[in-house]
Amino acid sequence: MALSIFALNTNNALAQWYQIPQMQDIPVTSFLVLSDSTLFVAGHQHSLYRSTDGGETWLNMSGGIPADTILSLASAARYIFAGTSGGVYRSSDTGGSWQYAGAGILYGGETGVYQFASVDSDLYVASDVGVYRSTDFGESWAADNTGLATGNLNGRMYTLPAFGIVSADSSLFVTQDLLGGAHVWHRGDSTWSFAGLGSHWCDAGALIEFDTAIFAGVNDGIFLYSGHDTTWLPRHNGLPEHLEYCMFAAADSFLFAFGGSLGFYVTSDLGETWSPVASSVFGGAAVNSIAASKNYLYAGTASGAWRIPLADIATSVKSSSSQFPGEYMLYQNFPNPFNPSTVIRYQMAVGSRATLKVYDVLGREIATLVDGEQVAGAHAVTFNAAGISTGTYFYRFEAGRYSETKKFVVIK
């Protein structure tokens, strides 16, 4: 059973961005990752491309969407949805053909649709005119704005633009522009309820559900919803004091945030600490969207699409825990599930004896990965599961009085 131990590299030398050859000069505005192999890239000038081999080759799929710009992409049930500058379109054949699916949403045909979310069989969009809901997968839509923040324009009340919307279990969260803050809807509610962030500019409206938690990116940082009332917990240790705007992407145990010219950051401890990702080298082009798959972090710019291997980030990102090893910590392995190898990271507050062992579901010891004196700081172990069968396993870390157990899944 192969085993190697190493400390996290702190110079970002391994992590580099690479431009996707066929995506050069494509003005990218959105991504959709359907699986490790199937991805979509969309943008201005009727741009829409699909890859079925993990991004190695791309096919033009733009026919059938007359809108100039595709602002968002999503999948629900058997459909793919495209939110555009002129409404919603959907495809039932993985992008081969498209039909208009925005009846009931648009005012004058110029409303931007920025993000999709679903609860049970209902589909929701965040748009320039608030939130709309469809109960028939886009055949028709109805406004669902009761309780959301409003403005007054020349004596006419209107719903503030909704830029971000995500679902968590049977709840929805939405963020609005112009200090509209965040609102939440729970199954059975007849109206949206204010959920805080009213004093924060949400002009990028970044929202993401990650590991059952809701994160919001606003101009003065990133916040985690506390789970009740209007309380959001600051989660921007290691980030700049001010974000120009924010975008999120997630893959396995990594949550990524982009803050404009301030660049990319990553956390693997639910936002307790953030570390910079390799410097952006996009030729000065602005980043319009980001996404992540099991293998890559993607960035879409006005001059094309770029990607960086997650394996490089996992071994080169500068962990703030290595700078400030004030506590013991066991992190979730990456990737997970995996075949055949994965990386398990842990943090030592002080130098001491430590053990890291793998067990099966019956509690039988499968492997000893660490057993001996360890120096303070961040460490990582590469575990190769070539000798064990498919299934769920547990790994346990012990050092001093600290002990913690997490699980991973081997797939073959």
pLDDT of residue 326: 59
pLDDT of residue 315: 66
pLDDT of residue 79: 96
Side chain identity at residue 202, one-letter code: C
pLDDT of residue 106: 67
Segment (H or E) for 239: none
d(CA 319, CA 338): 23
pLDDT of residue 286: 86
Q: Give the Å distances, CA to CA, from 406 to 97, 176, 315.
A: 44, 37, 20
Each residue of 271-305: b (16+ CB within 10 Å) or e? bebbbbbbebebeebebbbbbbbbebbbbbbbbbb
Contact call for residues 296 and 254 (beta carbons, < 8 A) = no
Q: Give the Å distances, CA to CA, from 330 to 7, 52, 257, 351, 367.
A: 14, 35, 22, 15, 17
pLDDT of residue 333: 84
Each residue of 187-204: b (16+ CB within 10 Å) or e? eeeeebebbbbeebebbb
pLDDT of residue 263: 87
Largest CA distance in the chain: 72
Residues of the chain falling short of pLDDT 50:
1-13, 318-325
pLDDT of residue 272: 80
d(CA 269, CA 128): 34
Tokens of 396: 């346990």
pLDDT of residue 350: 84
Please report the domains of the chain, with CATH numbers, ordered by start residue. 9-316 (2.130.10.10), 325-410 (2.60.40.1930)
Q: Which of 4, 174, 32 is nearest to 89 (CA)?
A: 32
pLDDT of residue 237: 84
